[in-house]
Amino acid sequence: MAHPPLLLIDNFLTAAGQNPSPTAALAGRLAAAGWPIRTTSRHANRLLRLGDMVGTVWRQRRHYAVAAVAVYSGPAFFWAEAVCAALRAAGKPYVLTLHGGNLPAFAQAQPDRVRVLLAAAAVVTAPSPYLRDGLQPYRADIRLVPNPLDLAAYPCRLRPTPGPQLIWLRAFHVIYNPTLAPRVLAALVADCPAVRLTMIGPDKDGSLAAVRATADALGVADRLTLPGAVAKAAVPDWLAGGDIFLNTTNVDNTPISVLEALACGLPVVSTAVGGIPDLLTDGVDALLVPANDAPAMAAAVRRLWTEAGLASRLAHAGRRTVAAADWGQVLPQWVTLLTAVAAGAVPAGAAAVLGGGGATNGTA
């Protein structure tokens, strides 16, 4: 049976060392399965990107049956509004996919705009209970479809007694609070003179310089490794070299970097913000601490060093948590959903999800 042609609309401009967006990853998987795929946009300039998105919707209207549109907060929300207006003008059904830890707060500030946008879609999906629940006041039937990853690419190694190598993987941006990591490092030196920290990722807003300055001021610059952005294919190897994964963010949804750490068997210490408590359960598959609290995060690391069996228990549970995010589980959900929307129908029932609603603990 021929697959319906699709148009996927998101930012397809992937910086070196960053994960491709979930939409870009989905495009690749569907194309490999024989689906006719068109995507937009790869323009770095925001205005050119918006023009390309809207223009592609109209110019290509005879060449796709259904569209999927990524929805973010802030200025990017306008892109979704403009693109969906063009899709309605073209008479095309579309699926909205919600992204970003700030989207619930944006919806509270702009309830009418959010309600109008969500109401017109054939289907709205969210990758986590956090986004689903936060946006349900604006549309009640939001479906859960996890952000996926390829588990086979992440060899799992348990660390019964974690060593001194801390690892951090994210873009250097103020919302991810990267300067918390060297503060944690400094708090641990007295307990573990061998402790070191590797922080991987591209600099987005000058936060990399702030990390260096913080490390210098605290006297731990010689314990800090900053390789910059690394290739996506190299991420499993970098994670394999770590002993404990730190997630320092102040705003979050369901970060792929944390899923990758769980897949590799790393014990995770994370701030309990946004969708993280939906993804992870404190003491079960991770240790969760308050935001921007270096003493609390350092104390959690000490627990992993000193409590017998804790790291192994968290790692075993974390691998189970992330299993439901494997592409083998998630791709069939998208195939069913997009095929139904293209045919003018929507399959009954919510998609499977990590965490929430009595399913496996955690979310993607």
152-323 is classed CATH 3.30.2270.10: no
Buried b (16+ CB within 10 A) or exposed e, 323-362: bbbbbebbbebbeebbbbbbeeebeeebbbbbbbeeebbb
Residues of the chain with pLDDT under 70: 1, 14-20, 347-364
Residue 221: count other Cβ atoms within 10 Å of its Cβ. 16
DSSP 163-213: -SEEEEES-B-GGG-TTHHHHHHHHHTTT-TT-EEEEES-BSSSHHHHHHH
- Give the Cα separation of 243 and 128 in Å (integer): 27
Report pLDDT digits (tens) over 137-175.
999 999 999 889 999 999 999 999 999 999 999 999 999
Q: What is the pLDDT of residues 316-335, one digit of tens each?
A: 999 999 998 999 999 999 99
Q: Are 228 and 202 in contact (CB under 8 A)?
A: yes
> What CA–CA distance (Å, rounded) separates 39 from 7?
6
CATH topology classification for 6-148+325-342 = Rossmann fold (3.40.50)
CA distance linking residue 179 with residue 215, whole number of Å: 8
- The answer to whether 6-148+325-342 and 152-323 have equal CATH topology is yes
- Extents of the domains making up the chain: 6-148+325-342, 152-323
| pLDDT for 165 | 98
Query: Which pLDDT value is given to residue 19?
Result: 57
Q: What does the pLDDT read at residue 1?
A: 65
